[in-house]
Structure 1
Amino acid sequence: MKKNSFSVKDHFKTQEVFQLKWNEKWDCYETFPKPDLKEIGKYYESDNYISHQEKSKSVKDLVYNWVRNYMLKTKINWIEKEVNSKKKLLDFGCGVGGFVRRANEKGFKAIGIEPNEKARNLAKDNQLEVYSDLNEIKEKKFDVITLWHVLEHLHQPSEFLKEINNSLTENGKLFIAVPNFKSYDAVQYKEFWAAFDVPRHLYHFSRKSISILAEHNGFSLKKTYPLKFDSYYVSMLSEKYKTGSSGFKWIWQGFKSNYKAEKNGEWSGLVFVLQKG
């Protein structure tokens, strides 16, 4: 994908057109114009915004929720490999709290932050400790902080990572999951690639982007893990955006994306393990 400006439509909700412009400093794309904090909420207001759903409504949602439950187990396994014991964990952007609940069940002392009031209240209804922002939390240091597909939604990701660094213990670990615009499915679908998801996604990262941001904000990159299901789900949505129907081509595209990623490491979605210092 060329490093220049190109147009992408909000296929999910408004059909508005936004520009993706190249950010040389962070080696990433930025969405323009960026809705401010007062405006951005309206782009999330939909019964179909699946990350805030608890109950399945369609076959697609059922499959999504099965994969989500499988990935909850997988994420916990990754964390257990990277930390020495069950410690204090903060899940930023926790939605309705599925990961917070699973982490607590596995022995972590886990809490969450969720700016969306509706999702946050659902989490609280399930007896989970969830706050609207960091300032509400009395405990200021965590051994593990997770950002599962959160960083791309933030207006100031670099400044946020600096703040997160200060919230980690001396050898704390930060787990970041983001879509990768250098993946095969991204290159194939171009402006129809569902993981651009403008304007909810304000920044669009790659492995190099995260490495630069990590080093700039006092982290060292320890490891990456692939999100192998992402290529299928993103390809399914992308195919619908491009042709009007998901059909079955997305299965082949998702498979090809993972096949190529096995060789070049450019998975559709990636998890980065960063260590403070």
Structure 2
Amino acid sequence: MDCPLCKSSDNINLFHTYPSFKLLECKACELLFQTEAEHINEQDMVQAIYNESWIKMREQYAHLTFQDHATFNTLQLEMFAPQKGRLLEIGSGTGEFLHMAKHAGWDVTGLEPSSLSCRYAMQHYQLELIPTILTDELANRLEPFEAIAIWHVLEHVPKPVAFLNQVADLLKDDGVLFFSVPNLKSFMNTSYGAHSPIFTEVDHLYHYSEKSIPLLLEHTPFSIEALFTRQLANQLEQIYRKKFGASSLKLEAKMALMSNLQGQGKGHEICCVARKRNNK
């Protein structure tokens, strides 16, 4: 089977067989991918996974979503798109990021295929999300945006190159794309191996690294402005115990480890900021 990213056929190995899917590994570009990734029905996958239990989990940990993700991601907007304007988030979940971006001065629009998530965002944040995945029909109706955010969505997209080119069409020239994905080379993945919770998720169709992301964007109109990994401190203790058998980490040791992992590109997620090239 050819790699869907670099098209190599000589460097593909079986990474692991799980109960309902297989992961293949491309040694040439460091992409992990499910064998049937390109044929997954996104809408069916959303309805199966993002159910009432998922909503209850999101509500229980809303404070962490704000603290660990929405706050940081809103700061990225200020750093790379301080002029503000129209912002589209694809895969808005329960709406915490858009809630903060709106109050930071952005004119926000959100797409979220889970009807339960849309209801939650309206009830809690008065956000009227559009209940759908991104389609050609919808894209033709939307006006161009100054910025688009897709936090932890790209790993679920069956055809990422086509998707990113569709996203580019929705951006103004010189507009900014923000996205994050789980890091293939993270401390969690190297500690747990093939049984990492990131690898066993059936809806994680692709697993990207800092090597494969630039290769992916080569097939799009985007130029990378920032690419880095980030590690959350509150995840470290459990992982550290798994890898080294230690009972606990002191605060100073935990923060040193977090900094070390980010410095080595082993944080839990990859964050990318890319600008749409002006071809005129």
Asked if these proteins are the same fold (TM beyond 0.5), I'd say yes
> 1:194 and 1:256 mapped to 2: Cα distance?
24
Structure 2 residues not aligned, in runs of 5+: 1-10
Structure 2 residue 220 is matched with structure 1 residue 221:
no
Alignment of 1:42-121 (within 5 A): 43-49=48-54, 53-56=57-60, 61=61, 65-70=62-67, 71-121=69-119
Q: Secondary structure at the match of 1:216?
A: coil
Verify the 8 A CA contact 1:177 1:270 in the aligned structure 2. Answer: yes
C-alpha RMSD over aligned residues: 3.3
Aligned to 2:16: 7
Answer whether contact 2:231 2:262 (CA < 8 A) is retained: no
- 1:261 aligned onto 2:255: no
Do the aligned partners of residues 45 and 159 (structure 1) sit closer, same or farther apart at CA in structure 2, a change above 3 Å counting?
same
Mark the CA change 1:250 to 1:23 in structure 2 (over 3 Å): closer, same or farther.
farther
Structure 2 equivalent of residue 233 of structure 1 = 235
Q: Distance in 2 between the 1:152 and 1:172 partners?
A: 22
Letter in 2 for 1:40: M
Contact persistence 2:85–2:146 (CA under 8 A): yes
Aligned residue for 1:40? 45
Residue deviations 1:99-125 (CA, integer Å, cap 9, x gap): 111111111001100011211222234
Instruction: Give me the TM-score of the superposition, normalised by structure 1.
Output: 0.79
- TM-score if structure 2 supplies the norm length? 0.78
2:237 & 2:197 partners in 1: Cα distance? 7
Rate the CA distance shift 1:25–1:174 in 2: closer, same or farther, 3 A.
farther
Residue identity opposite 2:64 in structure 1: V
Is 1:19–1:32's contact at 8 Å kept on the other side of the alignment? yes
After the TM superposition, list the runs of 4 or more consecutive aligned residues in structure 1 that deviate by more than 6 angstroms: 249-257
Change in Cα spacing, 1:160 to 1:22, as seen in structure 2 (3 Å) is same
Partner SS state of residue 97, structure 2: helix
The residue matched to 1:189 in structure 2 has which SS? helix
Identity %: 24
8 Å Cα contact 2:229/2:262 also seen in 1: no
Letter of the 1:93 partner, please give it.
G
Unaligned runs of 5+ in 1: 10-15
> Is contact 2:227-2:273 (8 Å) kept?
yes
The count of residues paired between Structure 1 and Structure 2 equals 257
- Partner SS, residue 191 of structure 2: helix
Closer, same or farther: CA 45–110 of 1 in aligned 2, 3 Å: closer
Are the aligned partners of 1:8 and 1:192 in contact in 2 as well (CA < 8 Å)?
no
Alignment CA distance shift 1:248-1:55 (3 Å): farther
